[in-house]
Amino acid sequence: MEVIIPGHTYELPNFENKNEAGQILQFIHKVPVSEGSTELETVSDGTTNEALIEVLVDRLNYLQEKFPCRENAIVITKLEESLMWLNKRTADRVKRNVEGKQIK
């Protein structure tokens, strides 16, 4: 893995042909609208942690049907738990009316 923009853009290596350019993974990138502002604007559109975890859960469920094992089941459970906590965080931020804002 190569970090292109920390926290936002990554190049993931191909599994078999490591000499070819890898896959780019772009997360949404937001910055404050102005100095001291809590309002954010999108610099680069991209995916979210939640969407990436959903992809991993789907892939592991697919693999678990073909090659079941205890380890896959545990990973699926932990990823689903991670998704639950991220969704809880978002719900809490929405409830406090700070979702999409830079509030420390």
What pLDDT, on a 0 to 100 scale, did the predictor assign at position 81? 98
Residue 90 has pLDDT above 70, yes or no: yes
What is the predicted pLDDT for the residue at 36? 84
Question: What percentage of residues in the chain have a pLDDT greater than 90?
Answer: 80
Is a pLDDT exceeding 70 seen at residue 104?
no
- Write out pLDDT tens, residues 30-47: 999 988 888 899 999 999
| Mean pLDDT within 52-71 | 98
Phi-psi region of 7 (alpha: psi -120 to 50; beta: other; left: phi over 0): left
